[in-house]
Amino acid sequence: MSEVLQISNITKSFRGNAQPAVQEASFSLKKGEIATIVGSSGSGKTTLLRMIAGLEIPEKGQIILDGKVINDTNIFIPPEKRNCSLVFQSYALFPHLIVRDNIYFGKNSSQNYDLIQNLIEITKIDQIQDRFPHQISGGQQQRVALVRALAINPSLLLMDEPLSNLDRELRLNVRTEIVSLLKKLKITTLIVSHDTEDALAISDKIIIIEEGMISQVGSPLEVFNVPKSCHIASLFGQSNFIPFENLDKKYKHFILNEKNEKVISVRPGQLKIVNELAVDEDLLCEGTILKICLIGLHKQLTIKCKQFVVNVNLSNLTDAIIGEKVKVVFKKNFFRYN
Amino acid sequence: MFRVLKNEILFKLNGWTFVSFIIGLFIIIPIAFVAIQFNNSSENWHHIQENVLYKYIYSTLILVLGTGVLSVFFGVITAWIISFYEFPGRKLLEWGLILPLTIPTYIAAYSYYDVLETFTPLMLWIRNNISFSAMNLFNDFMVYFVTIIVLSSVLFPYVYLSTRASFLMQGNKLIESAKILGHLPGQIFWNLILPLSRPAIVAGLSLVIMETLNDFGAVEYFGISTFTTGIFRSWMGMDDVGSALRLSSYLMFFVLLLMYFEKRMRGNAKFDQNDDSSLTHKRLVLSSSKSKSVLVICLVPLMLGFIIPVIRLSLWSISASKDFFNIELMQIRFNSIGLASFSSIIIVIVSIILLFSSKYFSSQIIKITNQFAVLGYSIPGAVIAMGILLVSAYINDITNIIITGTISSLFIAYLIRFLAVSSQPIDSGLEKECSQINQASRNLGKTAFHSLMKINLPLLKKPIFVGAILIFIDVFKELPLTLILRPFNFDTLATLTYDLNKQAQIFDASIPALIIIIITTIPIIFLNKKLERKS
């Protein structure tokens, strides 16, 4: 597959801020790939997206879209001449235009009549075409913004926090709809999100950005299972950081702190407890159950081992008693990426 | 800095930004020309410096201080009563208190022309029983006292409007919290509401001070020598443009200093609690006796600033030699309406071009030139007029084109002076309504012109309309600029009122004065109703 977007060493600073908003960012996207930039607030993810859209000018670095340089030291193609479209977090629908006029607003969109009709049908917004944006629901507004962005047949679709304004139930529906639509149309898409659950659900590739720097790029499972830092591991939920020195050297590890302590990240759901060790099971440690906490459909056990404390998630049906001696072993799914 | 310049020149330079930059420079140049005249040497400067400069500074400071303090007193008290208490007549007073804005300072002064005369017996008594110098001292005191009251009574609505808006924006939650913590209403006002409204009070006060410095008609009528009258006297009386320019540059630095202090005082403070609870602002219902007291308090500035001048002018108009529909007056009325309407259109178009270019292309250079271009509103009309005369003389020297004394010089002057008036609503409209959807429009491949016509203009109809009406009112009332720059034999209602009063034709002057008040009152009431409905 050919690369649609190539970003090399992009840097951007804002006046008054000592640290650059984005620093030496590099990654690429292949045709039809859906990637999500994940990071906490102020990490620079939206700035990066706006630079690709042409709404911010980078200080240095290069952006290539469809094989054409759109940003370089002496080149800046303005947003209206780039073949990429952006779905804004607040959707930015034109409030004085009805849905149909919003959709057909983009450059040359009238030439894409068949594509637009197809999109309207898939997204089920044909009944609301004569309404104004304030007369439709949040989910419908989201779909209209998406269809408007796709109506100009862009090489690259950019989406800034596309699901953040929707309630949980609607978000799950829209999330599924978006992924199936983008996959069907084979649209290369770059999404910005602070929600790791969304990122894991919709992406082919996840790009982690921390304090303006890209710290990890990989598939959702890779990033989830083998994070490159404590921060990345924590972004995707609770994790145990187990000292590497006592483990089998086959595990992928990272450096925890300035003292060069090496650890591996193991999610509570990737561990289980046994009384007797089977032949194909890898023992992590032996210890005593300190605490049992009920969390919805599962219970979390806090187990004190010799050198560390570890959390393990078990089904509610599993019996466990505080003070009981147990063996903590890795589940099979842990080894897929380790 | 270098990076910003590189981005501006390499990536953001286009037809829009280029034209905006040129317009911005065109507006800034006359002001900049005055600013560099602070060392201008002229034949009369020595005389001015030795004999009258001290008086100009002293009089200007007394007027600014007195008018500022009294306007804040009138404005804050009335805003407080209207915002926090319920009493019969409150709703009427709420918009009635802005009516003094329709009375230009010079017309207010003319309507009180005989007030000082009432003190003549007292002054004679002082001369006969104390001393001649004591009488002079008392006379000076009374002149300043009356001028300050006249100016404050028509300028206090600036403080009233900004303070009232701030009071209404303060969240009820804060007031309720203070009540729960055991504070009495008086304590809440002094310790909570007033400090929270400080930025709004300072904003209103700064407008009062700018208008006081700009005033020419009222101070000249009461015989007070301020910087503005000094500029007129140097240029028209002594035919000394150099001294007039030097005085203008001093006045301009004084204004810039004031603006600096205003900015420092306000800082970045923005204390308004704009939460939903502010909409349920509860007013305390007053007893009958207290209602009468607050009614009187609110009526004092309204009587002084609107009711008395209008009644007196109306009574005088009965004795005037010409009626409202006199042909000569119709022609002058047409001049004023034409000038104000055409200026509104030009200034609004320029505002749209400058603000749209700056925001649409995120151009830092245009943003900076725009910030300088709107300074004109703070600079007295006489100073702007001197700047235009100076630039016109240079242009005349180089190209032989005469601008001085033409209608075009008036339009340019109004553009410089009133650009900020339309820029303010259009700028906030652009920021609020169009900021992100302009980016969406660009991102969808549309040109700037298409985005302006199809997105911005339809969405900015209201702010554009508000800006145009405000400029119309300001130009319609404007005196010092028009007086200096008008073409020969060209009169507006403002200049006619001034000329007739100068010739002591008080009765005849009341007719154009009343027309000014009537024509500016209608849009002000209309705008207020619209804003009320919106809030």
Three-class SS of chain A: CCEEEEEEEEEECCCCCCCCCEEEEEEEEECCCEEEEECCCCCCHHHHHHHHHCCCCCCEEEEEECCEEEECCCCECCHHHCCEEEECCCCCCCCCCCHHHHHCCCCCHHHHHHHHHHHHHHCCCHHHCCCCHHHCCHHHHHHHHHHHHHCCCCCEEEEECCCCCCCHHHHHHHHHHHHHHHHHHCCEEEEEECCHHHHHHHCCEEEEEECCEEEEEECHHHHHHCCCCHHHHHHCCCCEEEECCCCCCCCCCEECCCCCCEEEEECHHHEEEECCCCCCCCEEEEEEEEEEEEECCEEEEEEEECCCEEEEEEECCCCCCCCCEEEEEECHHHHHCC
Q: What is the mean pLDDT of residues B197-224?
A: 89
Decide if pLDDT at B169 tops 90. Answer: no
pLDDT at residue B279, rounded to an integer: 44
Q: What is the pLDDT of residues B412-436, one digit of tens each?
A: 999 999 998 899 889 888 888 888 8
Residues in chain B with CB shorter than 8 Å from the CB of A94 are: 437, 440-441, 455
b/e sequence B33-53, b meaning 16+ C-beta within 10 Å: bbbebeebebebbeebeeebb
Residue B400: how many other CB atoms lie within 10 Å: 7
Say how far apart CA B124 and CA A116 lie, in whole Å. 91
Residue A80 to chain B, least CA–CA distance (Å): 4
pLDDT at residue A98, rounded to an integer: 95
Say how far apart CA B179 and CA B194 lie, in whole Å. 16
> Cβ of B445 and A108 within 8 Å?
yes
Q: What is the mean pLDDT of residues B134-139?
A: 90
pLDDT at residue A135, rounded to an integer: 95
Restricting to B residues 399-458, those with a Cβ less than 8 Å away from any Cβ of A are 433, 436-437, 439-447, 454-455, 458
Residues of chain A with pLDDT under 50: none
Half-sphere CA count of B120, side-chain side, radius 13 A: 4
pLDDT at residue B326, rounded to an integer: 78
Say how far apart CA B202 and CA B265 lie, in whole Å. 8
Identify the weakest region by mean pLDDT among A140-144, A165-169, B78-82, B301-305.
Answer: A165-169
Residues in chain A with CB shorter than 8 Å from the CB of B437 are: 92-95
A170 touches chain B (CB under 8 A): no
pLDDT at residue B190, rounded to an integer: 84
| Confidence class for position B277, pLDDT limits 50, 70, 90 | very low
Restricting to A residues 59-78, those with a Cβ less than 8 Å away from any Cβ of B are 59, 74, 76, 78
Residues in chain B with CB shorter than 8 Å from the CB of A85 are: 443-444
| Confidence class for position B327, pLDDT limits 50, 70, 90 | confident
A103 → chain B, closest CA residue: B444
Say how far apart CA B284 and CA B85 lie, in whole Å. 5
pLDDT at residue B533, rounded to an integer: 64
Say how far apart CA B28 and CA B371 lie, in whole Å. 10
Residue B122: how many other CB atoms lie within 10 Å: 12
pLDDT at residue B531, rounded to an integer: 66
- DSSP letter assigned to residue B374: G
Provide, rounded to the nearest whole percent, the portion of chain B with pLDDT above 90. 42
Decide if pLDDT at B98 tops 80. Answer: yes
Say how far apart CA B67 and CA B158 lie, in whole Å. 12
B359 → chain A, closest CA residue: A55
Cβ–Cβ < 8 Å for B60, B257? no
Q: What is the residue-averaged pLDDT of chain B?
A: 87
Q: Which of B5, B367, B444 to mutate to test the interface with A (most CBs of A within 10 A)?
A: B444
The angle subtended at Cα A70 by Cα A68 and Cα A73, nearest 5°, is 120
Decide if pLDDT at B268 tops 60. Answer: no
Decide if pLDDT at B183 tops 70. Answer: yes
Say how far apart CA B475 and CA B153 lie, in whole Å. 21
The angle subtended at Cα B217 by Cα B214 and Cα B218, nearest 5°, is 90
Provide, rounded to the nearest whole percent, the portion of chain B with pLDDT above 70. 95
pLDDT at residue A184, rounded to an integer: 87
Residue B418: how many other CB atoms lie within 10 Å: 27
Q: Whose structure tokens read 């303005």?
A: A78
Q: Which of A46, A85, A91, A105 to mutate to test the interface with B (most CBs of B within 10 A)?
A: A105
Predicted ipTM beyond 0.85? no
pLDDT at residue B270, rounded to an integer: 55
What is the torsion angle, in degrees rounded to the nearest 10, for the CA atoms of residue A289, residue A295, residue A297 and residue A303?
-20
Say how far apart CA B126 and CA B143 lie, in whole Å. 16
Say how far apart CA B103 and CA B154 lie, in whole Å. 7
- DSSP letter assigned to residue B99: G
Greater confidence (A63 vs B532) lies with A63
Greater confidence (B364 vs B11) lies with B364
Decide if pLDDT at B168 tops 90. Answer: no
Q: What is the pLDDT of residues B12-47, one digit of tens each?
A: 888 999 999 999 999 999 988 888 877 777 778 888
Decide if pLDDT at B272 tops 70. Answer: no
